């Protein structure tokens, strides 16, 4: 019988056709790291496939032989396909895609280009990640803009009714939301937020760092004006990659604060012209090899089917969440109703960093997220840190069982370490 730890799967939730949507054995076969540890850190940096790594290494070898510029020229069509692939995944157009070295860079560039001035209101979700939050606070202080942390509902999601009432005054507003936070398995009501921002004429920026490659993300259905994500998390791309979608109507209104030769032409002694597409936000220098790897990762995500991936990940995480909740001394810290592939918890009497170390000793890879990464969420909830486990398509029943068994031993004080 399939099992998660000592608890049969049938006791946690019956198997359904969802389990056949993802070929886990095939995913593991093309993921070297899947056979080396029980890896539950897709929300930090997922295990890349062999195809992703092969694309990166192949291009580095090309640069080794011919030089960086020459190698880039030789793969121009493949580089351009990264934009096409990202657009296909998100339901956008290639000219609305920009590539960055990280989601943080993309968020910073776009927020700066929005040029919030005195009187502008910035409404941020309580789930905003530390880097973006600190940038928003810096903008507010430097430009006399008002920064408002959006109210939350009973499930700690952004309160859409409160947002609707707040925006009704017609004041110029930028709404920035983290689709899925770093600190829990919550999913923000992105589409409902889009309906409200469109109705009130607010600009809507979605941080999809934890959702692209995890959920089906369609920018048209969501209604966001811009979206930013990273390559290294659920997309399973290389570190040092990220991308953004910017709706064509917003591209025309945004001017980067630091135009670069990649997205602009210096045409007179004192004038320049910006590229008409989203590449106006890019920088000339980039890791071409990493971007090619990102392109492979995006194509693999499309082939896997975002809809099937979402259903499978959420179902498997649901089983894991239930199994962990049944362990004495373990408390799930996800808000009620959280249903993403991210599962957060604490173990009574054991500091979260120590839990991570003890699980690592059993070859189970999770991370600890401190309140310093989410003061508007973890800080408000009086949680100094949480343990975060995030499931991906290469995690099989053996992985899930290893994680649950290891947590059970830590909670019982039988993992070979004295409890603190």
Between 16-20, 365-369, 400-404, the lowest mean confidence (pLDDT) is in 16-20
Max CA separation in the chain (angstroms): 74
Q: Which of the listed residues 272, 303, 334 is the one where a domain comes to its end?
A: 303
Residue 419: inside a domain = no
Question: Distance between CA 256 and CA 18 in Å, rounded?
Answer: 44
pLDDT reported for residue 118: 84
Question: Distance between CA 229 and CA 294 in Å, rounded?
Answer: 12
pLDDT 10s digits, 28-71: 999 999 999 999 999 999 999 999 999 999 999 999 999 999 99
pLDDT reported for residue 320: 98
User: Cβ distance 408 to 327 under 8 Å?
Assistant: yes
Residue 255: inside a domain = yes
pLDDT reported for residue 419: 42
Residue 417: inside a domain = no
% of the chain surpassing 70 pLDDT: 94
Beta bridge partners of 39: 365
Task: Flag whether pLDDT at 18 surpasses 90.
Answer: no
User: Cβ distance 277 to 329 under 8 Å?
Assistant: no
% of the chain surpassing 90 pLDDT: 91
- On whether both 291 and 372 belong to a single domain, the answer is no
Q: What is the CATH number of the domain that holds 318?
A: 3.90.1150.10
Task: Flag whether pLDDT at 16 surpasses 70.
Answer: no
pLDDT reported for residue 268: 97
Task: Flag whether pLDDT at 296 surpasses 90.
Answer: yes
Task: Flag whether pLDDT at 12 surpasses 60.
Answer: no
Task: Flag whether pLDDT at 4 surpasses 50.
Answer: no
- On whether both 150 and 215 belong to a single domain, the answer is yes
3-class state of residue 97 by DSSP? strand
Tokens 């920009």 locate to 98
Task: Flag whether pLDDT at 275 surpasses 80.
Answer: yes
User: Cβ distance 289 to 237 under 8 Å?
Assistant: no
Q: How many CB atoms lie within 10 A of CB 20?
A: 10
Q: What is the chain's length?
A: 420
Task: Flag whether pLDDT at 19 surpasses 80.
Answer: no
For residues 410 and 14, which has the higher predicted lDDT (pLDDT)?
A: 410
Domain interval for residue 115? 52-303
pLDDT 10s digits, 219-271: 999 999 999 999 999 999 999 999 999 999 999 999 999 999 999 999 999 99
pLDDT reported for residue 117: 85
**Type and span of the H or E element at 29:** helix 24-29
- On whether both 122 and 76 belong to a single domain, the answer is yes
CA-based torsion, 293, 294, 298, 299: positive or negative: negative
pLDDT 10s digits, 381-399: 999 999 999 999 999 999 9
- On whether both 59 and 100 belong to a single domain, the answer is yes
pLDDT 10s digits, 313-357: 999 999 999 999 999 999 999 999 999 999 999 999 999 999 999
pLDDT reported for residue 274: 97
Smallest CA-to-CA distance from 307 within 218, 233, 190 is with 218
For residue 218, name the pLDDT band (cuts at 50, 70, 90): very high
* Number of domain units in the chain: 2
> What's the mean per-residue pLDDT of the chain?
94
Which token pair is 164? 């609707």
- On whether both 232 and 94 belong to a single domain, the answer is yes
Q: Which of the listed residues 303, 324, 350 is the one where a domain comes to its end?
A: 303
- On whether both 214 and 239 belong to a single domain, the answer is yes
- On whether both 337 and 357 belong to a single domain, the answer is yes
- On whether both 123 and 263 belong to a single domain, the answer is yes
pLDDT 10s digits, 61-100: 999 999 999 999 999 999 999 999 999 999 999 999 999 9
pLDDT reported for residue 415: 73
pLDDT reported for residue 305: 97
- Residue 329 has phi, psi (to 5 degrees) of 90, 0
pLDDT reported for residue 387: 98
Q: What is the CATH number of the domain that holds 87?
A: 3.40.640.10
pLDDT reported for residue 198: 97
- On whether both 274 and 326 belong to a single domain, the answer is no
pLDDT reported for residue 2: 38
- On whether both 86 and 144 belong to a single domain, the answer is yes
């Amino acid at each position: 019988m399939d099992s998660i730890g000592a608890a049969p799967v049938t006791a946690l939730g019956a198997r359904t056709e969802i389990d056949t949507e993802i070929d886990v054995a095939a995913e593991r076969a093309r993921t070297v790291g899947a056979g080396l540890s029980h890896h539950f850190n897709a929300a930090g940096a997922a295990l890349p496939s062999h195809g992703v790594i092969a694309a990166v290494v192949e291009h580095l070898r090309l640069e080794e032989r011919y030089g960086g510029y020459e190698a880039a020229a030789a793969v121009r069509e493949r580089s351009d396909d990264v934009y096409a692939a990202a657009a296909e995944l998100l339901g956008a157009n290639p000219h609305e895609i920009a590539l960055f070295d990280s989601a943080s860079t993309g968020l910073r560039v776009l927020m700066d280009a929005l040029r919030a001035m005195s009187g502008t209101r910035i409404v941020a979700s309580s789930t905003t990640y530390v880097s973006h939050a600190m940038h928003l606070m810096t903008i507010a202080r430097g430009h006399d803009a008002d920064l408002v942390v959006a109210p939350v509902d009973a499930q700690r999601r952004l309160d859409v009714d409160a947002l609707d009432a707040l925006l009704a005054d017609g004041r110029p507003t930028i709404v920035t939301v983290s689709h899925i936070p770093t600190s829990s398995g919550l999913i923000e009501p992105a589409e409902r937020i889009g309906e409200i921002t469109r109705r009130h004429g607010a600009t809507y920026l979605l941080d999809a760092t934890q959702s692209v490659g995890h959920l089906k993300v369609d920018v048209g259905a969501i209604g966001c004006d811009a979206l930013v994500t990273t390559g290294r998390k659920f997309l399973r791309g290389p570190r040092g990659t990220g991308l953004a979608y910017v709706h064509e109507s917003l591209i025309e209104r945004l001017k980067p604060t630091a135009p670069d030769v990649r997205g602009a032409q210096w045409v007179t002694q004192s004038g320049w012209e910006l590229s008409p597409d989203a590449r106006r936000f890019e920088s000339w220098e980039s890791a071409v090899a990493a971007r090619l790897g990102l392109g492979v990762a995006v194509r693999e995500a499309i082939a896997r089917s975002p809809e099937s991936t979402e259903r499978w990940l959420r179902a498997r995480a649901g089983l894991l969440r239930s199994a962990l909740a049944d362990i004495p001394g373990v408390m799930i810290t996800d808000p009620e109703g959280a249903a993403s592939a991210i599962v957060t918890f604490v173990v009574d009497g054991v500091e979260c960093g120590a839990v991570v170390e003890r699980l690592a000793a059993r070859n189970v890879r999770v991370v600890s997220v401190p309140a310093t990464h989410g003061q508007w969420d973890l800080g408000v909830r009086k949680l100094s840190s949480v343990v975060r486990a995030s499931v991906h398509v290469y995690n099989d029943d053996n992985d899930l069982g290893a994680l649950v068994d290891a947590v059970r031993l830590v909670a019982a004080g039988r993992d070979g370490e004295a409890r603190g």
